[in-house]
Structure formats: structure tokens, C-alpha cells
Amino acid sequence: MALRLMKSLPEIEDQELVARTLDGDRDAFGVLVERYQDRVFGLVRHYTRNPVEVEDIVQDTFLKAFTRLSSFQRQGSFHNWVYRIAVNTTLDLFKRQGRNPVQTVEDPEVIGAPPTRSLMRPDAQLKEREIAEVTHKVLAELPEIFRTVLILREFEQQAYQDIADLLGISIGTVESRLFRARAKFKELILQRYPEYGQVE
């Protein structure tokens, strides 16, 4: 029955589904979950490659969203709101587990000297999966604040303003973090794979 009802709801706006959920409509919340589950799974997967952990985090994300639904600002984007919860849930979990503790942008070891070589494109012989593996290994070594802006910008194609809203920071901070994150990403790739470097 739930599935049948959910199929009649897909055209309804997010705000309406939120209102119905708050009125106790379980199917409405199911539609919201179904609408965004692919994207949230995709987002969380950039943080961890463990599929069980991904599922747990995504599930927690939606359960948290449900408990906080009354605080959702109806004029805002539900997608951005859920994304923010997903990022925070992931980072909270990592923090509790002592994985990749947050480092400040001002940490000189984090910023380091800008690489003097530029990064080449990945080898045409490499398959997309292999490139993604390399990229995610390097991303995993980045401080959380850098990893998150890179994931949101480069994988999720989020606009600077959306990233700023999502993380609760200014656009200027987004630009600054992206600049440093890209420099650090390049530095780490060149350390691991010096063959991809070329003199600028």
C-alpha cells in the first residue's frame, strides 16, 4: 500500500511532502527519502568506501532529518538541508572514531608551500574506476574541511553559494578553502605519483 501511495506522490513539491510528513503521513516521508537517497548515498560514498557504513550513515541522515523536520525552513532547499545533515553526520561519526580529525586552515603543515609543478591529466590508459580510486585515496588524506569543499564542488557540482549555505560559511571562505584544498590535493598527487607532474 505504501508503495502504491508513494507512486502517486512524486510530483508533489518537497515543501508539501514535509508538511504532510509533519501531519503524520509516513508515505510522504518515504517519497522524500526516495527522492534524495541516490544523491545522499553518492555524497557519503565519497567519504567512506565501506558500503555498510555508507548505508548506516545515510539511514541516520534521514532519521535525523525526520526528528528535525519541524526546524526545516520551508523557503530553503530540502536537498541542501539533507546534504548538510549528511555531511555533519559523517563528520560527527569520523570525529567520534578519531578518523581524520579536523585541522584548521591556518595550520602551516596543512597549507604548505605551493607546488611548483602543475598536475597533468590522468593517464588515458587508466580506467575511470582506477582514477577514482587514486583520487579518493588522496582525498582521504586531506583535512576534513578541505575534503568536504572538494567533494561538494568537484563531485557534486555544487555552486559556491550552496556550499556556503550548506556549511554555514561565507562565499569568501568557500573560495579560500577551495584554493587551499586544490593546492593540497595537487601536492599529494604529485608526492604519490610524481610522473604526473610537469614544470609550470
DSSP track, 162-197: HHHHHHT--HHHHHHHHHHHHHHHHHHHHHH-GGGE
The one segment of 21-29, 76-84, 101-109, 140-148 that binds other proteins by CB under 8 A? 21-29
Give the nearer residue to other proteins in terms of CB position, either 46 or 145.
46
Choose among 98, 117, 110: nearest CA to 176: 110
Q: How far is the CB of 46 from other proteins (least distance, A)?
A: 8
Number of residues that bind other proteins (CB under 8 A): 59
Cell 557504513 belongs to 53
199, β-bridge pairs: 117
Q: Which stretch binds other proteins (CB under 8 A): 9-17, 70-78, 98-106, 131-139?
A: 131-139
Cβ atoms of 174 and 164 within 8 Å: the answer is yes
- 141 in contact with other proteins (CB under 8 A): no
Q: Which of 69, 64, 55 lies closest to 20, judged by CA?
A: 69
- The alpha carbon of residue 87 and the mean position of all alpha carbons in its chain are separated, in whole angstroms, by 6
Binding residues for other proteins, rule: CB under 8 A, are 2-3, 6, 24, 26-27, 29-31, 33-34, 37-38, 41-42, 45-46, 51, 54-60, 62-64, 66-67, 89, 92-93, 96, 118-122, 128-129, 131-132, 134-135, 150, 153-155, 159-160, 175, 178-179, 182, 185-186, 189, 200
